[in-house]
Each structure stands twice: as structure tokens, then as C-alpha cells.
Structure 1
Amino acid sequence: MPVIPKTKPYRVGRSKTGLGLFATQPIKKGTKIIRYFGPLLDSKKAEDDAIENKYLFELDKRWTIDGSIRENVARYINHSCKPNAESDVKPRKKKIVIRAIKNIAPGDEINYDYGTDYFKAYLKPIGCKCDACEKKRAKKKAEERAERARVKAKENAKDARKAEKKANKKTDELAKETAKDKAKQRAKAKAKSTSKSSASAKSDRAAAKSRRPAAGKRVKTKSSPAKTLTSRAKAA
């Protein structure tokens, strides 16, 4: 890691994607932060055109800066889809300066947009790790979780309604069966009572009939002594 003078408003530190450049002092909007430099590569030369690394910064169609050298501290600046700095490219001067486009507070990571070509070639295949994209992914995941939870809650509510409907149906069927059984019991008890009353009435009629004298028979009765005496007196 290169040694950075204390007078410089930045330091190299650990970032989400490895190493990054962080502000050590307040950096105002519009301030030139650091220069991006390195050997100039001429695309018309086969040996220069054959060089490939992720620190190549194109100035124009012919000239490119190879920023892979250790002294180029600006190479530690990471990409961001919502950056706080930008690259100020000056092809004629063959110079690139990183400038603040927002007020940057101490401790904030300095970042700029690497551009569409670099994004498609290096970042899109692995997924951008900048704060903006991380927040976007986190928001999307939260929305997906919320949607899954909503669907699950809806399904649970539907299942609960089905279970309640089934339970109510079972309760109604049980109530009907109970009412039917009670009706049968009442009918049985009534029939039994009616049968018993009929048998009792029949028994009572039979007993009454047995107590009545038979038709055409005379019933002999004993005369009382008083009546006998009177009869004898009459005879005398």
C-alpha cells in the first residue's frame, strides 16, 4: 500500500470490494481530489494494444493511461452508480483528474462512475457492489420477502376460512344428528308411554269387567235377622 502524505485529504482503507479511497478531511464540491496517472499506451502499437488490466483508462481512441502502477493512488477509487466524485478527462493534455461533485465528509468513501463500457465488461457479470446497488438489492429483497409474506398470509387466511367452514359444517351436522337422536328418543319415549297407558287402560277395563255380575244370573243375598223376625211375626 503506498504511503500517502498527511497533507492529502484521503487514505487507502478497507472497502466492501477490497480496498478503497476514503476522505480524511472535509472535501468541498468542485475540489480536485487526486490525479489518475500512469504510462501512456498507444493503441497503434501492437505491444501497447496487447496490454490488458482493469486499471486502463481510455483518454481517446488512440491514447490510454495504464493506471496499474503502485504510485497511482487514484486506482483505489471504486465505482459507484451514485458517486460523490467524477473523472475530469482532458485528452489534449493526456490528463485525468478526479473531482468532487458533492461535499464529502471525513470517513466517506470517494467514488466515481467508471462508465458504461467498464460496467458491462467487469461489474455487471458479478453484480455491482456500490452502496446504491446494495441498497437497491436490499430493497428488492425486502419487497420480495414482504410479497412472500403477504401471499403466505393470504394462503393461511384462506386455509383458516376453509378449516372454519369445515368445522362449522361438522358442528351443524353434529347438531342435526343430535337433534335427530333426541327426536327419536322423544318419539320412542312417547310411543312407550302411549303403549303403557294403553296397556294400563286395558288392564283397568279387564278388572272392572271381572267385578261386574254375569248377565241373567240372580245374586243370592242373606237376609238380615231383623227382616226374618218380621216375617215370623207376620206368620204368627
Structure 2
Amino acid sequence: MPALSNKPYRIGRSKTGLGLFATQPIKKGSKIIRYFGPMLDCNKKKDDAVENKYLFQISKRWTVDGSVRKNVARYINHACKPNAESDVNVKKRKIIIRAIKDIEPGDEINYDYGTDYFKEYLKPIGCKCDSCEKKRKKKAAEARAEKALLKQKAERKAQKQAEKYAGKGKAKKADKARAAKTSKAGGKTAKATKSKAKTTSVKAKKPEARKPKAKKPKAAA
């Protein structure tokens, strides 16, 4: 595998603090940097008691303590879809970080820290790698879209109900208007009938014209 002749990286500001960034094109398969530090023997209590975020386990017995300042590889951040990987040589107790993709200048170099580290340190606070950030943004966008859709459905339902009630209100007003018109017409008819009945009654009570009585002839003298 090709090895780069000079340091193709720099320490820079990342989303999670500091990170390691490419300063020149790095071809797939190239050795980027070595991860190193004091070797801890897990069979010794004093070594097994060491705790920090930069412990890199090589085997069940040996672990590299990469917290030393000279270990620039400790600045490489985790990614669920990385552009590099850790190549571990158990016999030589060496850890080499190699590119598994072509890396362009300015790209952040990253590799997968493994399941144990992820569960212990990253899962509780949420992984901030590009892949996980995209997933979160996608879920958030889908949630917003779902919320907007539900809101639109609720608004349409409310509008239909309002139109339904408005239609019922118009029907009631029309019914009331018809009832009032019918009542008014009925009142007029009743009034006319009453008036006619009154006229007939008056006519019935009017006395008939009396005939003049015939005068008796006077007796002859």
C-alpha cells in the first residue's frame, strides 16, 4: 500500500471540537498516520485502572493509551461512514490509520471507533458525524412535513364542518322565512275570512223592510 512522504494532514476545528483534515489528496489505501502511545497490560491492575477516551484496545491483553500529546492521530474523529480505517497489527502492536476512499484536501479524516466506544461515549449524547446528522435532518424534515400535512387535514375538516353548519344555518333561515311567509299568508286568509263572516253576519242581522198596513175603509154614514 502506498505511504505518503510527508504529513498530509493538519489539526483543525471540527463539529465536535478538534479534528484532523487532509492538506493534500490522499489516495485510497494510503497510510495516513500511526496511532501510538504507552502500551497498557490489562493483566496488571494499575494499567487496567487507566480510564480515558483515547484507549485503543489491540487484543484482550494489550491496549494503547493514545492520550499523549504527541499522538496527533487522537484528533481523528469517529464517523459511521468513514473515509479511513484502523489497521491493527497485533504481533507488532501497531495501529495504522489508512484511507479506504480517495480523500480530497480540506476533507476531515475519520474512521469508525467500533461498537463498544459508540455505545459508551457517542450514543448517550448522539453521534454528530455527517451520516448521522443527515439522518437527523431527514427525520426532522419528515416530521415537519407530517405535522404540516396533519395541520392541512385539520384545516380542511374544520372548513368542511363550517360549510356544513353554514348550509344548515341557511336552510334554517329559509325554513323560517317560508314558515313566516306561510304564517303571514295564513293570517291574511284568516283575516279575510273573518271579515267576510262579519259582513255576512251584519247582513243577516239587518231587519227586513216592513210592508205598509192596509187602511180599513170608513163606514158609510
Q: TM-score range by the shorter chain?
A: 0.7 to 0.9
Q: Partner letter of residue 130 of structure 1?
A: C
Q: Does 1:101 align with 2:106?
A: no
- Three-state SS of the structure 2 residue aligned to 1:134 is helix
In structure 2, how many angstroms separate the alpha carbons of the residues matched to 1:104 and 1:189? 98
- Aligned partner of 2:148: which letter? A
Distance, in Å, in 2 between the alignment partners of 1:57 and 1:217 is 151
Specify the alignment match of 1:169 in structure 2: 168
CA shift for structure 1 position 216? 5.3
Which residue of structure 2 aligns with residue 18 of structure 1?
17
Aligned to 2:113: 114
Corresponding residue pairs, total? 208
Q: Which residue of 2 aligns with 1:222?
A: none
State the Cα distance separating 1:178 from its structure 2 match. Answer: 1.1
SS class of match (1:142) = helix
- Residue matched to 2:56: 57
Provide the residue aligned with 2:75 in structure 1. Answer: 76
Cα deviation for residue 93 of structure 1 reads 1.3
Deviation, structure 1 residue 38: 1.0
Displacement of 1:69 in angstroms is 0.8
Distance in 1, Cα, partners of 2:189 & 2:32:
106
SS for the counterpart of 1:160 is helix
1:178-208: per-residue Cα shift (whole Å, max 9, x none)? Answer: 11011111221233344445656777x68xx
Shift of 1:131: 1.1
Matching of residue 178 in structure 1 with residue 177 in structure 2: yes
Say which is worse superposed, 137-146 or 14-23, in terms of deviation: 137-146
CA distance in 2, matches of 1:107, 1:184: 89
Partner SS for 2:33: strand
3-state SS of paired residue (1:51): coil
Separation in structure 2 between the aligned mates of residue 146 and residue 8 of structure 1, nearest angstrom: 46
The C-alpha deviation readout for 1:103-133, integer Å capped at 9, x for no partner, is: 1122111110000111111111111111111
Q: Residues of 2 paired with 1:15 and 1:39: CA distance?
A: 26
2:131 maps to 132
Q: Which amino acid aligns with 1:192?
A: K
Q: How far does residue 158 in structure 1 lie from its aligned partner after superposition?
A: 2.1
Residue type at the aligned position of 1:63: W
CA distance in 1, matches of 2:86, 2:46: 27
For residue 233 of structure 1, what is the aligned residue in structure 2? Answer: none
Distance 1:28 1:179 in 2: 89
Distance in 1, Cα, partners of 2:181 & 2:8: 93
Rounded to whole Å, the distance in 1 between the matches of 2:103 and 2:178 is: 81
Give distance in 2, aligned partners of 1:63 and 1:168: 81
C-alpha change, 1:51 and 1:216, in structure 2 (3 Å) is same
Shift of 1:148: 2.2
Unaligned stretches of 5+ in structure 2?
1-5, 215-221
Q: SS at the partner of 1:118? A: helix
Amino acid at match of 2:71: N
Aligned to 1:153: 152
SS at 1:27 equivalent: coil
Match of 1:232 in 2: none
Deviation at 1:57, TM superposition (A): 0.6
Structure number with the higher helix fraction is 1
Q: Which amino acid aligns with 1:76?
A: Y
